[in-house]
Each structure stands twice: as structure tokens, then as C-alpha cells.
């Protein structure tokens, strides 16, 4: 058997492709994927439904038969699976590689007692006599946490969790070296799922098998694996260490999956990835749903390349790119003979499509920093780079795909002399965008996006006649007409009642999810920051004192200023 870095090479997959025959043609389900597993590895495969996860498992088991087509190479414990006769494949399946299938009702024979269904593979693969196999079946049932008398039950007499344990007992009956778990938790309640995870860990400790865990459930992959592959439309988009990928995903698709997971963000509203997967496209399979797509993404497939020590990614841009970078930003103000430092040596970044919360007490320098990031205030020291261009003056606010700042006070943010139409048309007039007809189309689209009327009567209303919530939505629409890549939202809910605040935030996150802009959400409320952001930066006296994922800052931070904000939020 070959080895890799001193470890036994248990599984080696090279350019594996699977095409299913339909009534008219062949449909690609996997497209030339390659990876390997050493003995002792626990590898997770994460992806949406239809990404090719179960097809991969079936191909690794040699269970895809003609007229469907399988290409490439699968070597299991040094043996080329594609070259084996069916009889040899059967031996390999039980003794070297075994699988716990997703749907126990489809796998278990409804007219056979579960004990007999465990006995059959034991007799066939281990050449045991009936009595020996029956005793071993009882031992296996106890090993997976079931009383031995359940061997006399039929599948329909068992709960979902119990049937999953029966399938697990069947899979480990011949002590395989590699165990494939296909959606092991898809129909289980949280308590049963937790118990199943503990049991699998105990079994692995006793029997020493490696695991390939296939799931759309992030908690299953996090709990059971140390490495993971992210699969989309039959292609690998990202692979690396599970902990590192879930903490900071490098691909926009991976980030979308994690942001859609209640396990990763239990306090946030969940938003799925807009759009649908497209099979057989010429360029990147995820291009139609990506927030940072370029022309090349639609024309050429990105190779899976090493971007970090333990990370590979398929992306023409090398993964999620930094949209904005601020380095060593400092700003002071003079009051008579006194110099007041507002921002001191701040360095931060904002990636494409993400939400970063900038949190701090009043006077911590949040709004000053926001004005510097947008180009409305020059820093005394340091620089801001937006979309690979240095920010000088306010040029990012004067272009499409730039930066837009939404201010705190909805009443002073818009001139009371402006009608709704005036307020929305002004940035388009000033920046000479399109014809009047094109401008009107754009402002009506923006009004529709923020769920406000688009009729002439509303357009002619003065901003002074609107409620606070309506004015703030007009301010958001005014920013959206310029189609920004980055939105700076400075305490935009602080003057609104809680109901209006909740509606506005949900509206804003929905717009972000559909449009893909990044956002810096400035607030003094750490609980609100946890609700809306993936990453939190805590500012105190003009300096960053804490930074990390929302879950880290809220649950693990030892920063006294972050803890003070958190405790105040619970009052």
C-alpha cells in the first residue's frame, strides 16, 4: 500500500466524474474531483442538496451501474475500485469501506427483523455460522446502544434514531477501515443527534475506523470531522481544516452556507444563498450567485489551488477579497488649545459581501472612523484603500459600485425642503448618471426595494411629512440608487422605536442578501451587532480593543470593554 507523509493512504480519488443518463442525454453530477484520505482522517463533505454529495458516496462504494457513467480513478486501500469485478467490490465494501445510508426506511427491508438484516452480511463476509452471526448481531446492537432484544423487531417498530443505529451496526459489522456516513442526522431531533455523535466518537475510539461524513448539516461536519471539502454543483470549491473554514470561510459559497446555518449563528435571521445551481456551465459554477464575480468567472473554470498552508480554493480571485482596507488610521480634533484624539492607529478590513459591526460607547470614535472610511474626512495618518484604489476626498461616494454612508438621524439626514423624488434624484443628478428616464426607473426600483410606494403622489411628498421609519428607508433608498459595493450604516436604528427598528434591519439584511453589498454596521449595542453581523470590532477611546467572529466576541472574549457593553445590553 502506498503512503503519504508517513501515513497509510486509505482513499485516493483522481478526476472522478459521474454522468447520469436521462431520457435525452447525460447529466453531469460530479465533475473531475480529486482528494485523498489517510488512515485516521475524518473528512467532511458539505454542500447544498443537489451538490453531488450522495453521488460521491455511491461512486466511492462502486454502486453506480450502467447506463450511468463513472470516469476517473478511485483507489481504496491501494486497490483500484474501477478495475475490480463485482465479487471483489462486495468484499471491499464490507471489510474495507462501509456506508451508513441516509434513508433508513429505504435501506432496511420492512419484512425482515433487524437482527436478521445484521446477520446476513456477517454470514456472507465473515463466513460465520448462523448462531455465531446471531450472537455477533446482539453484540453489535449493544455496541450502538440498543438492547439485544431489539433484534426481533421489524424496522417500522423502531424510531428514526434507533433505525440509524441499526444501520450503523450493519456498517461496522465487518470492522471497515473507512466508514461513510451519508446525512447521518437529517431526520433526528437535537438530543438524538447529540447522542449519535457521542456514540460515533466512542465507536471510532474502540474500532479505529476513519470517517467520511457527508452532510448539509454544519454541526455534523463540525462535530465529527477535522478536515472538510465544500462541494457545489459537482465541483470542489474549497477544502481545508474544518475549524479554520467554519471560522473564516475563503469562498463566497462556503460563507453563504455557514451564514445559512443556525448552528453557526443561532441569534441571527437566516438567509439562504439567492439563486439556483447551474450544471454544465463553461465558467465557474457559482458565478451566477457570487457577490464578487468578474467577467473571467463566466468564461473560464477556476482551478483548485493552494491559497494558505491548509487551504485550497477554486476561485479566480483567490477567495473572498478585501473590499476595503484601512491601515493605521489616526485622527485628532483641536478644541481651542486642546488636541482631542478621536481615532488612534486603527487597522481593519472589510471583505466583499460581509457585514462587520463596529461597536463602542458614545465618543469611542465610531462615526469619525466611518467618515474617514467613506472619504468625507481626511485622516491625520494612515490610508484607506477601497477596491484597490486609495481613498482621497470622497470619490467612492460619487461612483456606482462605491461607498455610501447612511447617517444616524433620519430627520436631519434629508432636507425638509426636498420631496422624496428630489432626495433620490439628487445623487444621480450630481454624478450625471443616465437620462432622466433612466434616473426615474432607478429611483422607483430603489423605493420598491425598501418597500415604499412608487406612485407620483408619494414621490411629490416632502420628506418633512414622513415618519422617522419612512425617512430612514428613504435614506437607504438614496444610498441604493448608486448601487454601492459597501454601505456604512451609522447608528441608523438608534432613533427608531423597536418595531420600526426590527422591520428596518430585516429589510436591510434582505437587500444585502439579494444585492451582495458589504456593510459596516455602526452601533453601541453589542446584542444588535451579534444579530446582524458575521464579525465584530469593538472600539474604545479611538482604538480597537477586540475583534473576531460574532460568536467569539460574544461568547469567548475576555476584553473588559466588550464584556461591559455586553452586560449593559442585558440590563
Banded pLDDT at 571 (limits 50, 70, 90): very low
pLDDT for res 104: 62
pLDDT (tens digit, 9 = 90+) per residue, 489-533? 998 888 788 888 888 888 888 889 888 899 999 998 888 888 889
The yes-or-no verdict on residue 231 having pLDDT over 60 is: yes
The yes-or-no verdict on residue 112 having pLDDT over 70 is: yes
pLDDT (tens digit, 9 = 90+) per residue, 370-398? 999 999 999 999 999 999 999 988 899 99
The yes-or-no verdict on residue 136 having pLDDT over 90 is: no
How many helices (H) and strands (E) would you count in the chain? 20, 23
User: Cα 407 to chain center, whole Å?
Assistant: 30
pTM of the model: 0.86
pLDDT for res 287: 93
Which has more pLDDT, 35 or 186? Answer: 35
pLDDT, average across residues 54-82: 93
Cα distance between residue 472 and residue 407, in whole Å? 9
Q: How distant, in Å, are the alpha carbons of 237, 304, 365, 452, 529 from that of 313?
A: 6, 5, 37, 41, 29
β pairing state of 389-390 and 42-46: unpaired
pLDDT for res 541: 92
Cα distance between residue 551 and residue 559, in whole Å? 14
The yes-or-no verdict on residue 182 having pLDDT over 80 is: yes
pLDDT for res 569: 61
pLDDT, average across residues 288-316: 92
pLDDT, average across residues 65-87: 92
Angle between helices 114-126 and 86-95 (to 10 degrees): 120
Cα distance between residue 538 and residue 315, in whole Å? 31
Q: Is 432 helix (H, G, I), strand (E, B) or coil?
A: coil
Domains of the chain: 40-66+82-225 (3.40.50.300), 322-569 (3.40.50.300)
The yes-or-no verdict on residue 264 having pLDDT over 80 is: no
pLDDT for res 2: 42
The rounded mean pLDDT for the chain is 88
pLDDT for res 105: 63
pLDDT, average across residues 402-428: 87
pLDDT (tens digit, 9 = 90+) per residue, 319-358? 999 999 999 999 999 888 889 999 999 999 999 999 999 9
pLDDT (tens digit, 9 = 90+) per residue, 17-60? 999 998 888 889 999 999 999 999 999 999 998 899 999 999 99
The yes-or-no verdict on residue 5 having pLDDT over 50 is: no
pLDDT for res 496: 80
Grid coordinates in use for 95? Answer: 471489510
pLDDT for res 93: 87
| Beta bridge mates, 100 | 181
pLDDT for res 480: 92
Q: Can you say whether the dihedral through the CA atoms of 466, 470, 472, 473 is positive or negative? A: negative
Are 261 and 222 within 8 A, CB to CB?
Answer: no
| Those residues with Cβ within 8 angstroms of residue 246's Cβ, 6 or more apart along the chain or in another chain | 218, 222, 258, 264
Which has more pLDDT, 526 or 236? Answer: 236
pLDDT, average across residues 138-166: 87
Banded pLDDT at 7 (limits 50, 70, 90): low
pLDDT for res 494: 80
443 CB-contact burial (10 Å; exposed 0-12 / middle 13-18 / buried 19+): buried
pLDDT for res 527: 85
Are 494 and 408 within 8 A, CB to CB?
Answer: yes
Grid coordinates in use for 108? Answer: 432496511
Which has more pLDDT, 296 or 275? Answer: 296
Cα distance between residue 519 and residue 405, in whole Å? 10
- Kindly provide the residue ranges of all beta strands, DSSP E only, lying in 233-360, ordered along the sequence: 235-241, 304-308, 311-314, 322-335, 338-351, 355-359
Which has more pLDDT, 437 or 337? Answer: 437
The yes-or-no verdict on residue 250 having pLDDT over 70 is: yes
pLDDT for res 503: 86
| Those residues with Cβ within 8 angstroms of residue 166's Cβ, 6 or more apart along the chain or in another chain | 104, 108, 114, 117, 118, 141, 144, 146, 150, 155, 158
pLDDT for res 6: 44
Within 344-401, where are the H helices? 366-374
Q: What is the DSSP letter of 87?
A: H
Grid coordinates in use for 522? Answer: 455602526
Nearest alpha-carbon partner for 224 in 380, 81, 41: 41
Grid coordinates in use for 243? Answer: 475549524
Amino acid at each position: 500500500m502506498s503512503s503519504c507523509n508517513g501515513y497509510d493512504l486509505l482513499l485516493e480519488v483522481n478526476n472522478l466524474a459521474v454522468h447520469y443518463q436521462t431520457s435525452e442525454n447525460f447529466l453531469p453530477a460530479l465533475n473531475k474531483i480529486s482528494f485523498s484520505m489517510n488512515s485516521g482522517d475524518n473528512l467532511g463533505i458539505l454542500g447544498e442538496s443537489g451538490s453531488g454529495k450522495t453521488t460521491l458516496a455511491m461512486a466511492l462504494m462502486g454502486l453506480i451501474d450502467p447506463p450511468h457513467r463513472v470516469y476517473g480513478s478511485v483507489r481504496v486501500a491501494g486497490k483500484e475500485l474501477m478495475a475490480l469485478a463485482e465479487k471483489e467490490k462486495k468484499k471491499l465494501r464490507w471489510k474495507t469501506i462501509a456506508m451508513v445510508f441516509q434513508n433508513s426506511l429505504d435501506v432496511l427491508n420492512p419484512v425482515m427483523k433487524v437482527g436478521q438484516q445484521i446477520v446476513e452480511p456477517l454470514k456472507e463476509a465473515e463466513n460465520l455460522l448462523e448462531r455465531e452471526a446471531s450472537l455477533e448481531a446482539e453484540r453489535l446492537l449493544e455496541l450502538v446502544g440498543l438492547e439485544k432484544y431489539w433484534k426481533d423487531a421489524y424496522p417500522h417498530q423502531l424510531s428514526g434514531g434507533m433505525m440509524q443505529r441499526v444501520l450503523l451496526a450493519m456498517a461496522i459489522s465487518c470492522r471497515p477501515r473507512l466508514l461513510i456516513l451519508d446525512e447521518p442526522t437529517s431526520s433526528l431531533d437535537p438530543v438524538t443527534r447529540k447522542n449519535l455523535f457521542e456514540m460515533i466518537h466512542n465507536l471510532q475510539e474502540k474500532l479505529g475506523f476513519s470517517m467520511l461524513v457527508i452532510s448539509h448539516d454544519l454541526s455534523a461536519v463540525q462535530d465529527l470531522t477535522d478536515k472538510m471539502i465544500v462541494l457545489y454543483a459537482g465541483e470542489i470549491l474549497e477544502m481545508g481544516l474544518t475549524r479554520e473554514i467554519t471560522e473564516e470561510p475563503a469562498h463566497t459559497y462556503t460563507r453563504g452556507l455557514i451564514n445559512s446555518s443556525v448552528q453557526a449563528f443561532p441569534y441571527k435571521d437566516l438567509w439562504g444563498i439567492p439563486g439556483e445551481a447551474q450544471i454544465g456551465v463553461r465558467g465557474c459554477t457559482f458565478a451566477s450567485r457570487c457577490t464578487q464575480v468578474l467577467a473571467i468567472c463566466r468564461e473560464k473554470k477556476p482551478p483548485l489551488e493552494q491559497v494558505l498552508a491548509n487551504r485550497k480554493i477554486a476561485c479566480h480571485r483567490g477567495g473572498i477579497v478585501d473590499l476595503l482596507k484601512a491601515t493605521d488610521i489616526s485622527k485628532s480634533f483641536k478644541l481651542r488649545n486642546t488636541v482631542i484624539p478621536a481615532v488612534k492607529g486603527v487597522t481593519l478590513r472589510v471583505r466583499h459581501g460581509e457585514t462587520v459591526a463596529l461597536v463602542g460607547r458614545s465618543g469611542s470614535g465610531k462615526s469619525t472612523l466611518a467618515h474617514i472610511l467613506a472619504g468625507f474626512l481626511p485622516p491625520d495618518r494612515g490610508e484607506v484603500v477601497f477596491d484597490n484604489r486609495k481613498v482621497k476626498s470622497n470619490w467612492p461616494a460619487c461612483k456606482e459600485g462605491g461607498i455610501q454612508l447612511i447617517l444616524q438621524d433620519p430627520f436631519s439626514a434629508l432636507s425638509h425642503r426636498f420631496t422624496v423624488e428630489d432626495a433620490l434624484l439628487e445623487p444621480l443628478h450630481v454624478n450625471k448618471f443616465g437620462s432622466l428616464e433612466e434616473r426615474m426607473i432607478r429611483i422607483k426600483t430603489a423605493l420598491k426595494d425598501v418597500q415604499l410606494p412608487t406612485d407620483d403622489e408619494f414621490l411629490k411628498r416632502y420628506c418633512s411629512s414622513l415618519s422617522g421609519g419612512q425617512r430612514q428607508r428613504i435614506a437607504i433608498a438614496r444610498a441604493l440608487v448608486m448601487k454601492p459595493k459597501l454601505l456604512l450604516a451609522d447608528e441608523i436604528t438608534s432613533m427608531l422605536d423597536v418595531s420600526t427598528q426590527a422591520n428596518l434591519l430585516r429589510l436591510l439584511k434582505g437587500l444585502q442578501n439579494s444585492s451582495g453589498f458589504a456593510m459596516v454596521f455602526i452601533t453601541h449595542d453589542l446584542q444588535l451587532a451579534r444579530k446582524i453581523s458575521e464579525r465584530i470590532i469593538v472600539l474604545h477611546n479611538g482604538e480597537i480593543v477586540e475583534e473576531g467572529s460574532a460568536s467569539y466576541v460574544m461568547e469567548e472574549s475576555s476584553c473588559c470593554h466588550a464584556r461591559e457593553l455586553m452586560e449593559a445590553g442585558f440590563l
